[in-house]
Amino acid sequence: MSKKINRATPILVTGGTGYLASWIIKLLLDEGLCVRATVRDKSNMEKNKHLIKLGDENKGSLELFEADLLEDGTFDKAMNDCELVFHTASPFKILGIKNPQKELIDPALKGTNNVLYSVNKTSSVKRVVMTSSTAAIYGDASETTNKPLDEKSWNTTSSIKNMPYLFSKRLAEEKAWEIVKSQNRWDLITMNPGQINGPSLSKRTDSTSIDFMLSMLNGKYKYGLPDLTYPLVDVRDVAKAHLLGAFTPNASGRHILAVDNPLSYLEIAKTLKDVYGDKYPVPTRNVPNIIMYLIAPFMKIKWSYLKNNLGIKPQVDNSYGKKDLDIRYMSAKKTILDHAEQIINDGLI
Protein backbone atom coordinates (compact mmCIF):
# COMPACT_ATOMS: atom_id res chain seq x y z
CA MET A 1 0.00 0.00 0.00
CA SER A 2 1.72 3.17 -1.21
CA LYS A 3 1.70 6.00 1.34
CA LYS A 4 3.08 9.48 0.81
CA ILE A 5 3.61 11.38 4.05
CA ASN A 6 3.05 15.13 4.23
CA ARG A 7 6.25 16.37 5.85
CA ALA A 8 4.50 19.49 7.10
CA THR A 9 2.45 17.46 9.58
CA PRO A 10 3.82 16.56 13.05
CA ILE A 11 5.60 13.22 13.45
CA LEU A 12 5.33 11.11 16.60
CA VAL A 13 8.18 9.05 18.08
CA THR A 14 7.30 6.86 21.06
CA GLY A 15 9.89 6.11 23.73
CA GLY A 16 11.72 9.31 22.84
CA THR A 17 14.54 9.06 25.39
CA GLY A 18 15.66 5.67 24.08
CA TYR A 19 19.02 4.95 22.47
CA LEU A 20 17.56 4.40 18.98
CA ALA A 21 14.63 6.81 19.29
CA SER A 22 16.99 9.68 20.07
CA TRP A 23 18.79 9.12 16.77
CA ILE A 24 15.48 8.94 14.88
CA ILE A 25 14.48 12.25 16.46
CA LYS A 26 17.84 13.81 15.54
CA LEU A 27 17.54 12.77 11.89
CA LEU A 28 13.99 14.13 11.69
CA LEU A 29 15.04 17.42 13.28
CA ASP A 30 18.03 17.63 10.92
CA GLU A 31 15.48 17.68 8.08
CA GLY A 32 13.62 20.55 9.70
CA LEU A 33 10.54 18.51 10.62
CA CYS A 34 8.08 18.95 13.47
CA VAL A 35 8.65 16.12 15.95
CA ARG A 36 6.66 15.00 18.96
CA ALA A 37 8.29 12.54 21.35
CA THR A 38 6.67 10.66 24.20
CA VAL A 39 8.50 10.31 27.52
CA ARG A 40 7.48 8.84 30.85
CA ASP A 41 8.08 12.02 32.84
CA LYS A 42 8.61 15.47 31.33
CA SER A 43 10.03 16.75 34.62
CA ASN A 44 12.90 14.22 34.60
CA MET A 45 15.55 16.56 33.24
CA GLU A 46 18.33 14.00 33.61
CA LYS A 47 16.67 11.66 31.13
CA ASN A 48 15.27 14.35 28.85
CA LYS A 49 18.08 16.90 28.69
CA HIS A 50 19.72 15.46 25.55
CA LEU A 51 16.36 15.65 23.74
CA ILE A 52 15.85 19.25 24.81
CA LYS A 53 19.36 20.01 23.54
CA LEU A 54 18.56 18.35 20.20
CA GLY A 55 15.44 20.45 19.89
CA ASP A 56 17.33 23.66 20.66
CA GLU A 57 20.27 22.99 18.32
CA ASN A 58 18.49 21.67 15.21
CA LYS A 59 16.34 23.41 12.62
CA GLY A 60 13.27 21.29 13.26
CA SER A 61 10.96 21.63 16.28
CA LEU A 62 10.53 19.18 19.15
CA GLU A 63 7.71 18.88 21.67
CA LEU A 64 7.64 16.34 24.52
CA PHE A 65 4.46 14.57 25.64
CA GLU A 66 4.00 12.30 28.64
CA ALA A 67 2.75 8.79 27.87
CA ASP A 68 2.80 5.35 29.50
CA LEU A 69 2.81 2.11 27.51
CA LEU A 70 0.46 0.48 30.01
CA GLU A 71 -2.17 3.24 30.13
CA ASP A 72 -5.04 3.18 27.62
CA GLY A 73 -5.38 6.29 25.48
CA THR A 74 -2.18 7.84 26.78
CA PHE A 75 -0.82 8.38 23.23
CA ASP A 76 -3.96 10.05 21.84
CA LYS A 77 -2.98 13.67 22.50
CA ALA A 78 0.56 13.31 21.14
CA MET A 79 -0.74 11.56 18.01
CA ASN A 80 -3.39 14.12 17.10
CA ASP A 81 -2.92 15.40 13.50
CA CYS A 82 0.09 13.09 12.85
CA GLU A 83 0.33 11.19 9.57
CA LEU A 84 3.42 9.24 10.66
CA VAL A 85 4.15 7.36 13.88
CA PHE A 86 7.45 5.73 14.86
CA HIS A 87 6.81 3.17 17.60
CA THR A 88 10.14 2.37 19.26
CA ALA A 89 9.11 2.12 22.91
CA SER A 90 9.67 -1.39 24.30
CA PRO A 91 11.82 -2.81 27.11
CA PHE A 92 15.19 -4.37 26.22
CA LYS A 93 16.44 -6.65 28.98
CA ILE A 94 18.20 -9.99 28.61
CA LEU A 95 19.59 -10.89 32.06
CA GLY A 96 18.46 -10.26 35.62
CA ILE A 97 14.78 -10.71 34.79
CA LYS A 98 12.70 -11.61 37.85
CA ASN A 99 9.19 -11.29 36.44
CA PRO A 100 9.22 -11.63 32.63
CA GLN A 101 5.48 -11.05 32.33
CA LYS A 102 5.63 -7.73 34.16
CA GLU A 103 9.07 -6.58 32.97
CA LEU A 104 8.89 -7.63 29.30
CA ILE A 105 5.67 -9.12 28.00
CA ASP A 106 3.19 -6.58 29.38
CA PRO A 107 4.99 -3.40 28.28
CA ALA A 108 5.88 -4.87 24.85
CA LEU A 109 2.47 -6.36 24.08
CA LYS A 110 0.16 -3.94 25.89
CA GLY A 111 2.28 -1.03 24.73
CA THR A 112 1.89 -2.07 21.10
CA ASN A 113 -1.85 -2.51 21.66
CA ASN A 114 -2.19 0.94 23.19
CA VAL A 115 -0.14 2.74 20.53
CA LEU A 116 -1.90 1.05 17.62
CA TYR A 117 -5.37 1.45 19.08
CA SER A 118 -4.59 5.17 19.31
CA VAL A 119 -3.56 4.96 15.65
CA ASN A 120 -6.93 3.40 14.83
CA LYS A 121 -8.66 6.31 16.56
CA THR A 122 -6.52 8.98 14.88
CA SER A 123 -7.89 9.52 11.38
CA SER A 124 -4.82 11.46 10.18
CA VAL A 125 -2.33 8.59 10.59
CA LYS A 126 -1.22 6.97 7.32
CA ARG A 127 1.82 4.91 8.31
CA VAL A 128 3.39 3.33 11.39
CA VAL A 129 7.06 2.34 11.43
CA MET A 130 7.65 -0.07 14.31
CA THR A 131 10.94 -1.19 15.81
CA SER A 132 10.95 -4.96 16.09
CA SER A 133 14.08 -7.14 16.13
CA THR A 134 15.79 -10.16 14.63
CA ALA A 135 14.59 -11.66 17.94
CA ALA A 136 11.19 -11.89 16.24
CA ILE A 137 12.85 -13.70 13.29
CA TYR A 138 14.72 -16.45 15.17
CA GLY A 139 15.46 -17.64 18.69
CA ASP A 140 18.75 -19.54 18.50
CA ALA A 141 21.68 -19.24 16.11
CA SER A 142 21.39 -22.96 15.36
CA GLU A 143 18.08 -22.27 13.58
CA THR A 144 19.95 -20.35 10.87
CA THR A 145 22.64 -22.88 9.98
CA ASN A 146 20.81 -24.69 7.15
CA LYS A 147 20.04 -21.46 5.29
CA PRO A 148 19.98 -17.75 6.13
CA LEU A 149 16.63 -16.72 7.59
CA ASP A 150 14.68 -13.92 5.92
CA GLU A 151 11.60 -11.81 6.66
CA LYS A 152 9.27 -14.77 6.16
CA SER A 153 10.73 -16.40 9.28
CA TRP A 154 9.33 -16.13 12.79
CA ASN A 155 10.86 -17.06 16.12
CA THR A 156 8.88 -20.11 17.26
CA THR A 157 11.33 -21.45 19.85
CA SER A 158 11.37 -18.71 22.51
CA SER A 159 8.79 -18.56 25.28
CA ILE A 160 8.14 -16.79 28.56
CA LYS A 161 10.39 -19.39 30.19
CA ASN A 162 12.99 -19.57 27.43
CA MET A 163 14.56 -16.21 26.44
CA PRO A 164 11.49 -14.10 27.35
CA TYR A 165 12.89 -10.92 25.77
CA LEU A 166 12.99 -12.61 22.38
CA PHE A 167 9.49 -13.93 23.01
CA SER A 168 8.23 -10.43 23.85
CA LYS A 169 9.51 -9.07 20.52
CA ARG A 170 7.71 -11.78 18.56
CA LEU A 171 4.45 -11.26 20.45
CA ALA A 172 4.56 -7.49 19.95
CA GLU A 173 5.24 -7.69 16.23
CA GLU A 174 2.63 -10.39 15.68
CA LYS A 175 0.08 -8.23 17.49
CA ALA A 176 0.99 -5.25 15.31
CA TRP A 177 0.42 -7.20 12.08
CA GLU A 178 -2.87 -8.53 13.47
CA ILE A 179 -4.11 -5.02 14.25
CA VAL A 180 -3.08 -3.49 10.91
CA LYS A 181 -4.96 -6.19 9.01
CA SER A 182 -8.21 -5.16 10.71
CA GLN A 183 -8.37 -1.89 8.77
CA ASN A 184 -7.21 -0.32 5.47
CA ARG A 185 -6.43 3.33 6.29
CA TRP A 186 -2.84 3.04 7.58
CA ASP A 187 -0.03 0.64 6.81
CA LEU A 188 2.72 -0.91 8.92
CA ILE A 189 6.45 -1.13 8.27
CA THR A 190 8.61 -3.08 10.71
CA MET A 191 12.35 -2.87 11.24
CA ASN A 192 14.07 -6.00 12.54
CA PRO A 193 17.60 -4.98 13.55
CA GLY A 194 20.19 -7.28 15.00
CA GLN A 195 22.34 -6.23 17.95
CA ILE A 196 22.47 -2.44 17.82
CA ASN A 197 25.70 -0.66 18.65
CA GLY A 198 27.20 2.72 17.84
CA PRO A 199 27.48 6.08 19.60
CA SER A 200 24.73 7.24 21.93
CA LEU A 201 23.34 10.77 21.96
CA SER A 202 23.02 10.74 25.75
CA LYS A 203 25.29 9.79 28.65
CA ARG A 204 22.81 7.30 30.05
CA THR A 205 24.16 3.82 30.72
CA ASP A 206 20.90 1.95 31.37
CA SER A 207 20.64 0.66 27.82
CA THR A 208 21.61 -2.97 27.18
CA SER A 209 23.48 -1.87 24.05
CA ILE A 210 25.48 0.73 25.98
CA ASP A 211 26.13 -1.68 28.84
CA PHE A 212 27.58 -4.20 26.37
CA MET A 213 30.21 -1.77 25.12
CA LEU A 214 30.95 -0.49 28.63
CA SER A 215 31.52 -4.08 29.72
CA MET A 216 34.03 -4.55 26.91
CA LEU A 217 36.06 -1.62 28.24
CA ASN A 218 35.59 -1.66 32.02
CA GLY A 219 36.93 -5.11 32.84
CA LYS A 220 33.66 -6.99 33.31
CA TYR A 221 34.78 -9.49 30.65
CA LYS A 222 38.52 -9.29 31.29
CA TYR A 223 38.70 -13.01 32.11
CA GLY A 224 37.02 -13.97 28.85
CA LEU A 225 33.96 -13.78 26.64
CA PRO A 226 31.32 -16.32 25.75
CA ASP A 227 31.82 -17.57 22.18
CA LEU A 228 28.79 -15.74 20.81
CA THR A 229 27.93 -13.84 17.64
CA TYR A 230 24.81 -11.83 16.87
CA PRO A 231 23.72 -9.96 13.75
CA LEU A 232 25.20 -6.48 14.19
CA VAL A 233 24.08 -3.07 12.95
CA ASP A 234 24.90 0.56 13.66
CA VAL A 235 22.30 2.61 15.56
CA ARG A 236 22.69 5.40 12.99
CA ASP A 237 21.88 3.00 10.15
CA VAL A 238 18.85 1.66 12.03
CA ALA A 239 17.57 5.22 12.53
CA LYS A 240 18.18 5.97 8.85
CA ALA A 241 16.29 2.81 7.88
CA HIS A 242 13.31 3.96 9.94
CA LEU A 243 13.19 7.25 8.02
CA LEU A 244 13.60 5.48 4.68
CA GLY A 245 10.76 3.14 5.58
CA ALA A 246 8.62 6.11 6.59
CA PHE A 247 9.17 8.34 3.56
CA THR A 248 9.51 5.74 0.79
CA PRO A 249 5.88 5.58 -0.44
CA ASN A 250 6.10 1.98 -1.71
CA ALA A 251 8.09 0.55 1.21
CA SER A 252 6.39 -2.46 2.75
CA GLY A 253 6.73 -5.37 5.12
CA ARG A 254 9.46 -6.47 7.50
CA HIS A 255 13.13 -5.51 7.14
CA ILE A 256 16.10 -7.38 8.59
CA LEU A 257 18.78 -4.78 9.39
CA ALA A 258 22.29 -6.21 9.77
CA VAL A 259 25.78 -5.91 8.32
CA ASP A 260 26.92 -8.62 5.93
CA ASN A 261 29.69 -9.95 8.14
CA PRO A 262 28.90 -9.66 11.87
CA LEU A 263 31.73 -9.76 14.39
CA SER A 264 31.81 -12.29 17.19
CA TYR A 265 32.21 -10.94 20.72
CA LEU A 266 35.89 -11.83 20.58
CA GLU A 267 36.33 -10.11 17.21
CA ILE A 268 34.69 -7.00 18.68
CA ALA A 269 37.18 -7.15 21.55
CA LYS A 270 40.09 -7.56 19.15
CA THR A 271 38.91 -4.48 17.21
CA LEU A 272 39.06 -2.49 20.45
CA LYS A 273 42.37 -4.02 21.53
CA ASP A 274 44.03 -3.12 18.23
CA VAL A 275 43.23 0.56 18.83
CA TYR A 276 43.46 0.96 22.61
CA GLY A 277 46.08 -1.63 23.49
CA ASP A 278 46.36 -2.05 27.26
CA LYS A 279 44.69 1.26 28.12
CA TYR A 280 41.50 -0.62 28.98
CA PRO A 281 41.05 -4.21 30.25
CA VAL A 282 39.59 -5.45 26.99
CA PRO A 283 39.16 -9.25 26.93
CA THR A 284 41.54 -11.27 24.77
CA ARG A 285 40.05 -14.76 24.83
CA ASN A 286 36.87 -16.78 24.95
CA VAL A 287 35.75 -18.54 28.10
CA PRO A 288 35.99 -22.28 27.40
CA ASN A 289 32.57 -23.70 26.63
CA ILE A 290 32.81 -26.20 29.47
CA ILE A 291 33.25 -23.34 31.91
CA MET A 292 30.23 -21.60 30.43
CA TYR A 293 28.16 -24.69 31.14
CA LEU A 294 29.43 -24.78 34.73
CA ILE A 295 28.59 -21.15 35.50
CA ALA A 296 25.38 -20.97 33.47
CA PRO A 297 23.06 -22.02 36.35
CA PHE A 298 24.40 -19.19 38.51
CA MET A 299 23.64 -16.72 35.70
CA LYS A 300 20.20 -18.26 35.11
CA ILE A 301 21.19 -19.25 31.58
CA LYS A 302 19.85 -22.55 30.26
CA TRP A 303 22.20 -25.18 28.86
CA SER A 304 19.94 -25.43 25.81
CA TYR A 305 20.73 -21.79 25.00
CA LEU A 306 24.47 -22.49 25.21
CA LYS A 307 24.13 -25.60 23.05
CA ASN A 308 22.25 -23.71 20.34
CA ASN A 309 24.34 -20.52 20.31
CA LEU A 310 27.94 -21.04 21.46
CA GLY A 311 30.33 -21.06 18.53
CA ILE A 312 27.58 -20.59 15.93
CA LYS A 313 27.46 -17.52 13.69
CA PRO A 314 23.83 -16.79 12.85
CA GLN A 315 22.99 -16.32 9.19
CA VAL A 316 20.32 -13.80 8.23
CA ASP A 317 19.42 -12.53 4.77
CA ASN A 318 19.47 -8.72 4.72
CA SER A 319 18.87 -8.39 0.96
CA TYR A 320 15.21 -7.32 1.12
CA GLY A 321 15.98 -4.36 3.38
CA LYS A 322 18.74 -3.24 1.01
CA LYS A 323 16.39 -3.46 -1.97
CA ASP A 324 13.25 -1.98 -0.44
CA LEU A 325 15.00 0.85 1.45
CA ASP A 326 18.09 1.29 -0.74
CA ILE A 327 20.22 1.24 2.40
CA ARG A 328 23.94 0.52 2.75
CA TYR A 329 25.56 -0.24 6.08
CA MET A 330 28.56 1.15 7.91
CA SER A 331 31.26 -1.39 8.66
CA ALA A 332 31.04 -3.24 11.96
CA LYS A 333 34.53 -1.96 12.80
CA LYS A 334 33.45 1.67 12.44
CA THR A 335 30.39 1.03 14.58
CA ILE A 336 32.43 -0.49 17.39
CA LEU A 337 35.16 2.14 17.41
CA ASP A 338 32.73 5.07 17.17
CA HIS A 339 30.77 3.61 20.05
CA ALA A 340 33.87 3.23 22.18
CA GLU A 341 34.98 6.79 21.41
CA GLN A 342 31.60 8.16 22.50
CA ILE A 343 31.77 6.28 25.81
CA ILE A 344 35.33 7.47 26.43
CA ASN A 345 34.68 11.09 25.40
CA ASP A 346 31.59 11.25 27.60
CA GLY A 347 33.63 10.13 30.60
CA LEU A 348 31.63 6.94 31.12
CA ILE A 349 34.73 4.78 31.51
Rounded to an integer, what distance in angstroms lies between the CA atom of residue 262 and that of residue 301?
23
In a domain, 3, yes or no: no
C-beta atoms surrounding 50 within 10 Å: 18
95 band by pLDDT with thresholds 50, 70 and 90 = low
Lowest mean pLDDT among 41-50, 96-105, 222-231, 333-342: 96-105
User: CA 75 to CA 72: how far, in whole Å?
Assistant: 8
Average pLDDT over residues 1-11: 88
pLDDT of residue 333: 96
The pLDDT assigned to 174 comes to: 93
Report CA 347 to chain centroid distance, whole Å.
24
pLDDT of 9: 96
β 84-87/195-197 pair status: unpaired
Across 66-70, 102-106, 160-164, 246-250, the highest mean pLDDT is recorded for 246-250
Q: Do 195 and 11 contact (CB within 8 A), yes or no?
A: no
Segment 153-174, tens digit of pLDDT: 999 888 888 878 888 899 999 9
Query: In this predicted model, what pLDDT tens digit does every residue of 195-216 receive, in sequence order?
Result: 999 999 999 887 888 899 999 9
Q: Is 83 within a domain?
A: yes
Residue 210 lies in a domain: yes
**What is the structure's pLDDT at 59?**
85
2 lies in some domain? no
Under DSSP, is residue 190 helix (H, G, I), strand (E, B) or coil? strand
pLDDT digits (tens, 9 = 90+) for 274-332: 999 999 999 999 999 999 999 988 887 889 999 999 999 999 999 999 999 999 999 99
Task: Report yes or no on 324 lying in a domain.
Answer: yes
Domain annotation covers residue 6: no
Domain housing 91: 11-344
Q: How far apart are CA 229 and CA 36, in angstroms?
A: 36
Phi-psi region of 224 (alpha: psi -120 to 50; beta: other; left: phi over 0): left
Q: Provide the CATH number for the domain around residue 122.
A: 3.40.50.720
Confidence of residue 2 (pLDDT cuts 50, 70, 90): confident
Give burial (CB, 10 Å; 0-12/13-18/19+) of 148.
middle
Looking at residue 132, its pLDDT comes to: 95
The mean predicted confidence, pLDDT, of the chain is: 92
Query: To 10 degrees, what angle do helices 19-30 and 235-247 make?
Result: 50
Number of separate domains in the chain: 1
Q: What's the CA gap between 99 and 276, in Å, rounded?
A: 39
The average pLDDT across 3-20 equals 93
pLDDT of residue 93: 56
Is 5 contained in some domain?
A: no
Q: 223-253 pLDDT, tens per residue?
A: 999 999 999 999 999 999 999 999 999 999 9
Which residues neighbour 44 within 8 Å (Cβ) at sequence distance 6 or greater?
none
197 is a domain residue: yes
Q: What is the band of 96 on the pLDDT scale with cuts at 50, 70, 90?
A: low
Spot the catalytic one: 169, 181, 279, 322.
Answer: 169
pTM value is 0.94
- Look up residue 160 and give its DSSP letter: S
User: Is residue 169 flagged as an active site residue?
Assistant: yes
